[in-house]
Amino acid sequence: VQLQASGGGLVRPGDSLRLSCAASGRAFSSYTVGWFRQAPGKETEFVAVMKRYNSNGVYADSMKGRFTISRDNAKNTVYLQMNRLRPEDTAVYFCAASSTVISSEISNRRFYDYWGQGTQVTVSS
């Protein structure tokens, strides 16, 4: 599967953005799709994930209540709605997919086989 992330941009604190991760290939619903981010000089960080065959999202603690992940299998797309953005949310956001990752490893980027190219999100006044 090939992934294409989009939707990033420059916004002010408190604003919202919606990122999209469009996937090619069939059987998209059989993939767990997650979002990760990397800020300058920092490690790649788990953001949120939508499990395969499931409509419930799993979030990093700092994103709960502000970010919402969703998927549209008919469009082969996973979305990340980000509200009340903060300067510390500034990072390159990547989407990633796996057909084999298990629940206990779902926030570990090493278990994702396919990655999109990343989209820059900058939150600044």
Positions of the chain with pLDDT under 50: none
Collapsing DSSP to helix, strand or coil, 70 comes out as strand
Longest dimension (CA), the chain: 42
Residues contacting residue 95 through CB under 8 Å, at least 6 positions apart:
3, 5, 19, 21, 33, 34, 35, 36, 78, 80, 115, 116
Q: What is the pLDDT of residue 121?
A: 98
Write the pLDDT tens digit of every residue in 87-118. 999 999 999 999 999 888 999 999 999 999 99
Q: Which of 43, 83, 33 is nearest to 63 (CA)?
A: 83
Q: What is the pLDDT of residue 106?
A: 93
